[in-house]
Amino acid sequence: MRNWLVHGLAAGFVVVGATSVIAAGDPLETRKTIMDSVAAAAGLGGGMMKGEIAYSPAAGKAAIATMAAASHSFGSFFPAGSDAGDTTASPAIWSDAAGFEAALAKFAATADAAVQASGKDGPADVDAFKAAFGPIMGNCKSCHEAFRVKK
Ligand code: HEC
């Protein structure tokens, strides 16, 4: 458990360092940058699933760990009043808090199951990776449709 968290955070910080400077204490920047790390992990994992990036168990494990770390931290950065400003978070996050919690819990459950399946060295081959990573990718569209607005 501890191991994937550390790896996941490390992977997240690489993305953060490469793409943006965090305004201290701004939950909008934090949650958007966590989602950017999710998008980066989706790019890595999706690229390996499609055969555009050579599969490696270590990279598979890293993509899964990033998803797991994000799924457990993302929900902490939606304080009341943070629906305004440069954000695509939908007001439904606050008006249907239970629904948002459920979407977060499903995201975390699929990511945790993938961590379990990934073992010490990562999923052994691309088929094992697809079986673990596919269900994580099944969360993006449904959560965005319910809890994100188009701008
Ligand atoms: C539990 C809900 C949820 C899930 C699951 C989820 N997202 Fe998001 N995502 C959001 C919300 C809410 C925002 C808007 C954040 C904001 O603008 O404050 C967002 C924003 C984003 C952004 C824009 C970030 C930015 O810099 O503005 C990207 C890219 C993204 N998500 C990719 C993904 C991908 C890829 C997946 C699936 C692997 C995914 N998301 C899964 C809720 C979710």
Regarding pTM above 0.85, the answer is: yes
Residues with C-beta less than 6 Å from any ligand 1 atom: 28, 31-32, 35-36, 38-39, 42, 87-89, 103-104, 107, 136-137, 139-140, 143-144, 147-148
pLDDT tens-digit series, residues 101-134: 999 999 999 999 999 999 999 999 999 999 999 9
- Residue (of 69, 85, 68) closest to 136 by Cα position: 68
Ligand 1 centre distance from Cα of residue 27 (Å): 14
Which of 94, 140, 141 for a ligand 1 pocket mutation test, highest count of atoms within 8 Å of Cβ? 140
Query: Considering only CA atoms, which residue is closest to atom 6 of ligand 1?
Result: 140
Q: What's 31's DSSP letter? A: H
Residue 5 reports pLDDT greater than 90: no
Query: Which 3 state secondary structure label does DSSP give 18?
Result: helix
Which range of residues forms the domain containing residue 141? 2-147
**From 20-29, 67-76, 90-99, 134-143, the region with the lowest mean pLDDT:** 20-29
Q: How many domains does the chain have?
A: 1
CATH at 85 = 1.20.120.10
Return the pLDDT at 25: 72
Query: Which 3 state secondary structure label does DSSP give 89?
Result: strand
